[in-house]
Structure 1
């Protein structure tokens, strides 16, 4: 299966464009943002757990990254409410579930084989935030091939001051304004964007600012069809 599989082009999925499709497990649905392959392929998704839903224990050969957007997501007897960031390295296994229901942002099969760090960060903890390059940043993960963080933009603040090699972002609060298609559209909460290398000076926070999940560096070498 191929969804937004040409990484040389911009891809945008707005919250009002979400198309929920059933997963192999009852009570779990997902919005496919990008995908290369089947259930064990490279995928980026918004996943929705109904209350009292679960997956059986399973392993992710290419690792799994999760940001809890709402509700409470659980792994066995460990529970992660909205705002938690989880990173499970390649070869790790877990049994995900949700008693109350949850919506999570998930990236599967996108870690190098040698990555071995498990990460758990409560992004609502003020101690996880700091000032970097003049803006508030919660650093989630960084290595030679990627940098992942949450950042807060002030009203009308420009997102990228310089050209980028690529980027992927999810709007968590507020809005971005921009002209990726010369239409002056607004990218509000829940909007996912994937940007190839280039300059994007028109991407700025809206009048109330914005909070974003932002990943850079991880798309190097990917083109049409991955």
Structure 2
């Protein structure tokens, strides 16, 4: 994977399964799948019964698309095919009872 900069490549191709996994918490792994001067892309896998380790507070906008499984945000459930957008200043603590895979973008 390479970083895209103002003078760098105009396209980056990432083979997700080749990207190093980082354990966020027990049952949750994250992969950085792209970084530019404007946004950061990530893929997160939640095992069944896992919960983000702390409340996630956003200084900037964050978006994610549920690729598989189901995410729970407070009392709301977001299944596969759901696109969720958090405004700057928002906070949440996602969890999953069934397991889930998310593709997300943090706007810088």
TM-score range, shorter chain: 0.7 to 0.9
- Structure with higher Rg: it is 1
Unaligned runs of 5+ in 2: none
Q: Residue 6 of structure 1: CA displacement? A: 2.3
User: Structure 1 35/25 Cα, relative in aligned 2: closer, same or farther at 3 Å?
Assistant: farther
Q: Residue 31 of structure 1: CA displacement? A: 2.1
Q: Residue 47 of structure 1: CA displacement? A: 0.8
Tell me the equivalent position of 2:43.
Answer: 46
Over the residues paired in the alignment, what is the CA RMSD in angstroms?
1.9
Tell me the equivalent position of 1:201.
Answer: none
TM-score by length of 1: 0.42
Unaligned runs of 5+ in 1: 37-41, 112-226
More relative contact order, 1 or 2 (CA 8 Å, 6+ apart): 2
Residue-pair matches, total: 102
Tell me the equivalent position of 1:79.
Answer: 77
Quick check: 1:94 aligned with 2:92?
yes
Q: Residue 34 of structure 1: CA displacement? A: 1.5
What does the per-residue CA deviation read over 1:69-92, in whole Å, with 9 as the maximum and x for residues that have no partner? Answer: 000011122110000001101110
What does the per-residue CA deviation read over 1:124-150, in whole Å, with 9 as the maximum and x for residues that have no partner? Answer: xxxxxxxxxxxxxxxxxxxxxxxxxxx
Q: Residue 20 of structure 1: CA displacement? A: 4.5
